Amino acid sequence: MAKGYRYLDPQAVAKLARMNLIARSVVEGFISGLHRSPFHGFSVEFAEHREYTPGDNIKDIDWQAYARTDRYVVKQYQEETNLKAHILLDTSGSMGYKSDESQLSKLEYGSYLAACLAYLMVRQQDSVGLVTFDETIGNFIPPRSTAVHLNVLLKTLEKIRHGRVTNISRAFHDLAENIKRRGLIIIISDLFDEPKDVMRGLRHFRFKKHEVILFHIFDRWEIDFPFRKLTDFVDMETNDEIQIDPRFVRDDYTGQIKDFIAAYKRECASATIEYVQTHTGVPYDLMLHSFLAKRKRLH
C-alpha cells in the first residue's frame, strides 16, 4: 500500500504497524478505532451516501440514487463511518523554518507525521481527510478510508510548500463551521499566532463536539535559542528583518517560549484537548509511537 512516497517511510511505518489511534471519548456512539462489526456493509445499519471515488467496490453503488440524480454514490454503513478524522496541517511561512542542525523543516516534520497518521487510520479502516491552511484554507480533502484515497493524501503532501502569513483562528473557525459530522480533529502546527485567538478557534471545534489532538511543533533552536553572535533574524511570514545580539535577549526569549508552551498546555487541558509538544530533533516515528502507546494504556 502506498509505496514509494516521500513522507511514508517504510521503516517508520513498521515501528507503528501494531499501534492503533484510539480517541479518548466516544465518537458517534463508538470508541474510535474499534469497530462493531468486521463485515463492511453486511447486517449493519445504513448511515449515509457519499460520492463514488476510484477504488470503491462497484457493488456498493446505489443504482436507485443514480437513476434519480445521474450521479454515482456509494452506500456507507455504520462501521464505515465509525470515525471520520481530519488532519489539519499548518503550511504558513513559519513552518518552513529549518535550523542548521535540523534535518527537517517543521513543515516536513509535520508532513511525515500526517502521512503516518493517515496510514494508520486507513489501515484500521477509519476515514481520514487532509486540510492545509495558512491565513486561509488551502487543500481540503474530505475523509475516506480506501487505499486509493491514502495515495491521494500522500501525493498532496508531496506537493505542499510553505506559504506566508498565518491566521490560525480564522482557519479554525471556518473549518469548525464547515465540518458537519462529529469526529476527530488532528492539528499539526507551530501555533505562531495570538494564543487567545487560537484557543477560541480550538474551543470552537470542542463546541461542535469534535475530539481534538494538537501536535505543537517547534524547531529545537526555537526553544533553546543557541545563538551566540550578532545575528540577523528574518520573519518568514512578513520578511521583516531585525539584527539582535543574543546575549541581551536570551533569558527574556526563552522565558517567553516557556510561557507560550505552558499557556497552551494549560488552556488545552481546560478545554479537554490532547496537547503534544515536540520538536524536529525528536524522531517523528518515536514520538508518535510513544504518544499512541500512552493513549492505548489510557483506554
- Tens-binned pLDDT, residue by residue, of the chain (299 aa): 455 678 887 777 776 665 555 333 333 333 333 334 333 433 345 556 777 776 667 777 888 887 888 888 777 655 444 678 999 999 999 999 999 999 999 999 999 999 988 988 888 778 999 999 998 999 999 999 898 999 999 999 999 988 878 899 999 999 999 998 888 999 999 999 999 999 999 999 999 989 899 999 999 999 998 888 887 787 777 778 888 888 888 899 899 999 999 999 999 999 999 999 999 999 998 898 888 777 766 65
**Residue 75: per-residue pLDDT:** 72
**Residue 80: per-residue pLDDT:** 47
Do 153 and 71 share a structural domain? Answer: no
β-pairing, 231-234 vs 241-244, is antiparallel
Look up residue 1 and give its amino acid: M
Domain count, the chain: 2
Do 170 and 65 share a structural domain? Answer: no
Residue 58 included in any domain? yes
**Residue 18: per-residue pLDDT:** 56
Residue 3 included in any domain? no
Owning domain of residue 202: 10-28+83-298
Cell of 212: 481534538
Domain endpoint, select from 49, 77, 105: 77
CATH number, residue 184: 3.40.50.410
In tens, the pLDDT along 80-108 reads 446 789 999 999 999 999 999 999 999 99
Residue 5 included in any domain? no
Residue 293 included in any domain? yes
Do 61 and 92 share a structural domain? Answer: no
Residue 2 included in any domain? no
d(CA 61, CA 40): 14
Cell of 90: 499548518
Do 227 and 99 share a structural domain? Answer: yes
Do 168 and 40 share a structural domain? Answer: no
Do 165 and 106 share a structural domain? Answer: yes
Do 253 and 105 share a structural domain? Answer: yes
Do 165 and 51 share a structural domain? Answer: no
Do 57 and 116 share a structural domain? Answer: no
Do 277 and 130 share a structural domain? Answer: yes
**Residue 16: per-residue pLDDT:** 64
**Residue 187: per-residue pLDDT:** 98
The answer to whether 123 and 78 are in contact (CB under 8 A) is no
Do 227 and 128 share a structural domain? Answer: yes
Do 288 and 145 share a structural domain? Answer: yes
Domain endpoint, select from 20, 55, 77: 77
Burial (CB < 10 A; 0-12, 13-18, 19+), residue 192, is buried
